[in-house]
Amino acid sequence: ATSKECPLDKDELGRHTWGFLHTMAANYPEQPSEQQQRDMKDMMHLFSKFYPCNYCAEDLRETMKKYEPQTGSQEDFSQWMCKMHNIVNVKLGKPEFDCGLVNQRWRDGWKDGSCD
């Protein structure tokens, strides 16, 4: 049967997109080349022009003027992404995520083995 899935609403889009962005950051090179660093900065700037929630994208562009993408290493980029997400969390009245846990959440799985 044809599946009857529906277009993403703002929150579904957000959840899926953060999943992509944090996973991309989790897998970003430890020692990126100059070209990779430039490309990832470009990627985030272009992303912020096309993210399909206009006021979300506008706020992101404003935030990124203050906090340029940090693409020097996997650590730098993952922490930067965590900060971007936390700025949105605060704006929405959601709890801030502990950025010290970002690699467990998005790359390695939790230390208690619950993702194994």
Enumerate binding residues for ligand FAD (CB under 6 A): 10-11, 14-15, 17-18, 22, 51, 55-56, 59-60, 82, 85-86, 88-89, 92, 94, 97, 102, 105
Q: What is the DSSP string of 14-47?
A: HHHHHHHHHHHHHTS-SS--HHHHHHHHHHHHHH
Residue placing its CB nearer to ligand FAD in the complex, 15 or 45: 15
Return the number of the residue (40 or 82) whose C-beta is nearest ligand FAD.
Answer: 82
Nearest distance in Å: CB 52, ligand FAD: 10
Q: Of 37 and 106, which has the nearer Cβ to ligand FAD?
A: 106
CB of residue 66 to ligand FAD, shortest distance in Å: 15
Q: Distance between CA 109 and CA 111 in Å, rounded?
A: 7
* 14 vs 33, beta carbon nearer ligand FAD: 14
Q: What angle do CA 99, 105, 110 make, to 5 degrees?
A: 115
Q: How far is the CB of 38 from ligand FAD (least distance, A)?
A: 21
In sequence order, what are the residues at sequence separation of 6 or more whose Cβ sits closer than 8 angstroms to the Cβ of residue 53? 10, 13, 14
CB of 59 vs ligand FAD, minimal distance in Å: 5
Contact 82, 99 (CB under 8 A): yes
The DSSP code for 94 is: P
